[in-house]
Amino acid sequence: MAELSTKHILGIKYLKKKDIELIFETTERFKEVLNRPIKKVPSLRDVTIANLFFENSTRTRISFELAEKRLSADVVNFSAAASSVKKGETLLDTVNNILSMKVDMLVMRHPAPGAPIFLSRHIDANIINAGDGTHEHPTQALLDAFSMREQVGDLEGKKIAIFGDILHSRVAMSNIFCLNKLGAKVKVCGPPTLIPKHIQHLGVEVSHDLRNTLEWCDIANVLRIQLERQDIKYFPSIREYVLRFGINKKLLDSLNKEVVIMHPGPINRGVELSSDVADSDQSIILQQVENGLATRMAILYLLAGKRGS
Amino acid sequence: MNVVLIKKVQIISPEYNSSSSPLDVLIKNGIIEKIGQNINVDADTIFEEEGLSLSIGWTDIGVQVCDPGYEHREDLHTVSMAAAAGGFTTIACQPNTNPCIHSKSEVQYVQRNTGDAIVDILPIGAVSENCAGKDITEMYDMHKAGAIAFSDGDQPIQDSGLMMRALQYVKTINGIIINQPFNSSIAQNGQMNEGFMSTTLGMRGIPHIAEDLMVQRDIYLAEYTASRLHLSNVSTTEAVRLIRIAKQKGIKVTASVPIINLILTDSVLERFETNYKVSPPLRHQEDIDALLKGLSDGTIDFINSNHTPLDEEDKKKEFTYAKFGVIGLQTTFPLLNTYLKQFQLKEVINFLAYQPRKIFGIDIPKIVEGEIANLTLFNPKIEWTMQRENIQSKSKNTPFIGKRFKGKIKAVFNKKQSIFF
């Protein structure tokens, strides 16, 4: 059977295209499982997984936990604000303590970019990055790309636009790396203060024009304005942001095409997306959530096969 | 009686022609007794191997000695040993101790505790109390006590008014203000150079403009005050260009660059390795090229180690939480000699020994008979691998453990003492 080229999922950058394709194939199989009357399979019966969340999360944590339970893994959860770790125990000590209790795999969300890569140098357990600061959020990118494929087929040559706060977004980074590997064309759109200066070196186009970019793209992946990550003001007010970059139904209806609308959640309704867009037929936001579960099951399943390697 | 005989050594010094044949040097009780051909005496120690070179003792400006306050990272004894092992017989220490070197007492603390050391440790006094960037210190008093220059060290001066007053104030003592050009409002908690790599890693970048702006500001202030400015730890292409123009205009500015910023680019940060997290950050190859050109044409005056000891707890952690800095005293010459082959040995010695002494008014020793030996004996041809146990510093925060180098320090002589390696 085909297997992943890596024992960790640290970021999309570290995956090969064939890894991504294998994850998609496996996701399709688990999506079928999730539609059965009995949604549980015994694949990870002998595996213990710790979900370490050093940063708040609701949907990603629940999605991972459900995925683990559907695969019959034993699950432990650990949540801590990053500050408590800063005050006392180091990340390495925390993790080593948990691993001493014979945990096989770690799912970790952490506010520091590269934290899972740092960890992978010091421990043996398989690590899945569930978001590391402004670096990567690989499972989100994989579920996004999987959802895009369901809508428009093979992504080679397809036009994908990412809107909003690119500067503070690990989702944007992982999306860009993933879509590049799959041959899609990517454009980012937002206010100049929220777009990294060197982003075009990653092989994406940059636009500050919402309407033009919507006209250009097949799929619009609209990101959440990460107010909690902004220690200084990058735009003057939510009101002005909405005026320039808010996507509403009227705007979408005035385009010459029907754009697929995606959002990684949670939505700031009335900010980056108006409610009538979020709830419209063009939006596949809830399909993304469903695919997220299957994608995470696929990743856990495939990594479990790499245990000890 | 302690007698050291160095056989067939190439003397790199203005008193000797570099093309002249190797000479023997006899050092008795720390005094250069004789220099000539075929000296044959009974000696306690004889150095005889191919490639031996001898120069005046090297000087490093801007070393973090961590003592007082951070003795778990380094102390005045261990920094002295590290400096000696790196070929330095004089170092000027940064004021960022705890308490800071911001009054005569701390200047005297350093002097009192290094009197017996083989290495001369010269204090750099703080410009502002606690290096906090607010109130100016008693620089006159510190100068009288022996501070060789003034700086807030690793806390670059942000307040333009403070910088201006400091430059004005030290004019009466012909003092020098050292500043690392870094605008913290633009850098905004940046963790590494801003560019492709920082973007890929999702890391907040320190743009080159954070340095360029401060270089320009400080040059303007040096011109306006007609005072002496030393820009330490420069790292960008534009900084070199601005300093070159300032020198052409006759503004009294000098500059130095850390060795690691001449060797490595930000591409080494791909795996979030914290031992490459330094300030100024590792930048691009074009910056390295500009810095090297600046050294060749005299825009940049010398190379420094930017020695910053940090304990394991400050480095073995998430990149964002790790502190900036690497130790550098023992790797400065090996890196220079291994990687920067475009510089002749004479130029290297100029960067490491003569230039810092000239700029900061430190006595320049002579290699002539009858003088007290202040010498570095080294062999640029020997290859060796740096091991953890070679590191004399208390802290081991360097990315170069296990790296193979060309060029090794054999001995240093100073204050009638000597250490052999």
Q: What is the distance between the alpha carbons of residues B240 and B238, in angstroms, rounded to a whole number?
A: 5
Mutate to test the interface with A, among B186, B189, B200 (most CBs of A within 10 A): B200
Q: Once rounded to an integer, what is the mean pLDDT over residues A150-178?
A: 96
- Taking residues B206-231, what's their average pLDDT? 98
Question: Does one domain contain both B40 and B62?
Answer: no
> Under an 8 A CB cutoff, do B317 and A232 touch?
no
Partner residue opposite B200 with nearest CB, options A13, A86, A115: A13
Instruction: Show the domain range for B302.
Output: 57-360
- Residue A213 is inside which H or E element, if any? helix A210-216
A110 in B contact zone (CB under 8 Å): yes
Residues B21 and B75 in one domain: no
Please tell me whether residues B297 and B384 are part of one structural domain: no
Among A91, A196, A198, beta carbon nearest to B317: A91
List of residues 6+ apart from A253 with CB closer than 8 A = none
pLDDT at B80: 98
Pairwise CA distance, residues A24 & A223, whole Å: 23
Distance (Å, rounded) from C-alpha A218 to C-alpha A209?
Answer: 16
The per-residue pLDDT for A82 is 54
Q: Span B180-206, mean pLDDT?
A: 96
B102 and B203 part of one domain? yes
Tell me the pTM.
Answer: 0.93
The pLDDT value recorded for residue A86 is: 58
Contact across the interface for A197 and B321, Cβ inside 8 Å? no
Q: How confident is the model at residue A61 (pLDDT cuts 50, 70, 90)?
A: very high
Q: Which of B273, B287, B275 is nearest to B194 (CA)?
A: B287
- Picking from B88, B85, B9, the residue whose alpha carbon sits closest to that of residue B47 is B9
Mean pLDDT of A137-143: 98
The 8-class DSSP code of residue B337 comes to H
**Nearest residue, CB atoms, A135 vs list B201, B313, B321:** B201
What number is the average pLDDT over the span B334-354?
Answer: 97
CA A54 to chain centre: 17
**What's the number of domains chain B is made of?**
2
CB A304 within 8 A of CB A47: yes
CB pairs under 8 A between A and B: 73
For each of the domains in chain A, give its residue range(s) and CATH number, in order of start. 12-137+289-304 (3.40.50.1370), 138-284 (3.40.50.1370)
pLDDT exceeds 60 at position B209 = yes
Sequence letter at residue B104 = K
Predicted confidence (pLDDT) at residue B220 exceeds the cutoff of 70? yes
Q: DSSP letter string over A10-48?
A: --GGGS-HHHHHHHHHHHHHHHHHHTSSS----TTTT-E
Instruction: Clarify whether residues B174 and B268 are in a common domain.
Output: yes
pLDDT of A290 higher than 80:
yes
A11 close to B (CB below 8 A): no
* pLDDT at residue number A213: 98
State both tokens at B280. 């100024």
Inter-residue contact B349 to B355 (CB < 8 Å)? no
Q: From residue B374, how far is each of A167, B252, B383 by CA, in Å?
A: 54, 29, 25
Residues of A (129-148) whose Cβ lies below 8 Å from B? 132-136
Query: In this predicted structure, what is the pLDDT of residue A231?
Result: 67
Distances in whole angstroms, Cα of residue A292 to Cα of each of A32, A143, B253, B368? 13, 5, 59, 78
Beta bridge pairs of residue A52 = A78, A108
Q: Which residues make Cβ contacts (< 8 Å) with residue A92, sequence separation at least 6?
A: A119, A122, A123, B316, B317
pLDDT band at B47 (very low <50, low <70, confident <90, very high): very high
Residue A85 confidence (pLDDT): 60
User: What share of chain A has pLDDT > 90, as a percent?
Assistant: 83
Q: Which of B308, B335, B360 is the last residue of a domain?
A: B360
Higher per-residue pLDDT: A97 or B105: B105
Residue of chain B minimizing CA distance to A167: B202
Q: Which helix (H) or strand (E) holds A219?
A: strand A219-222
Q: What is the ipTM of this complex?
A: 0.90
Give the domain CATH number at B241. Answer: 3.20.20.140
List residues in chain B touching A: CB distance below 8 A: 188-189, 191, 194-196, 198-205, 207, 271-272, 274, 313, 316-321
If asked whether residues B314 and B325 sit together in one domain, one would say yes
Is the same domain home to B328 and B391? Answer: no
Residue A226 has pLDDT above 80, yes or no: no
B49, B62: one domain? no
Tell me the chain A residues in contact with residue B316 when contact means C-beta distances shorter than 8 Å: 90, 92
Q: Specify whether B269 is located in the same domain as B127.
A: yes
A238 or A294, higher pLDDT: A294
Q: What is the mean pLDDT of residues A7-22?
A: 97
Query: What mean pLDDT do residues B225-240 have?
Result: 98
| pLDDT exceeds 80 at position B18 | no
> Could you tell me the two tokens for A53?
């969340």
Instruction: Give B-chain residues touching A111 at CB under 8 angstroms.
Output: 320
pLDDT above 60 for B133 = yes
Task: Assess whether pLDDT exceeds 80 at residue B402.
Answer: yes
Looking at residue B164, what is its pLDDT? Answer: 98
- C-alpha–C-alpha distance, residues A259 and B198, integer Å: 32
Q: What percent of chain B has pLDDT over 70?
A: 100
Give yes or no for a contact between B378 and B333, defined as CB atoms under 8 angstroms apart.
Answer: yes
Hey, are the CB atoms on B207 and A133 less than 8 Å from each other? Answer: no
Residue A89 is predicted with a pLDDT of 81
| Angle formed at CA B383 by CA B381 and CA B385, multiple of 5 degrees | 155
Supply the CATH number for residue B406's domain.
2.30.40.10
Same domain, B294 and B380: no
Residue A202 sits at the chain B interface (C-beta within 8 Å): yes
Distance CA B136, CA A286 (A): 61
Output the average pLDDT for chain B. 97
* Residues of chain B with C-beta less than 8 angstroms from the C-beta of A123: none
Locate the chain B residue with the closest alpha carbon to A82. B321
Q: What is the structure's pLDDT at B85?
A: 98
Quick one: pLDDT at residue A87?
A: 63
- What is the share, in percent, of chain B residues with pLDDT greater than 90? 97
The alpha carbon torsion through A161, A167, A170, A175 (nearest 10 deg) reads 20
B45 & B185 share domain: no
Domain boundary among B360, B385, B404: B360
Main-chain phi, psi angles of A247, to 5 degrees: -105, 120
- For residues B128 and B264, membership in a common domain is answered with yes
Taking CA–CA distances from A231, the nearest residue in chain B reads B188
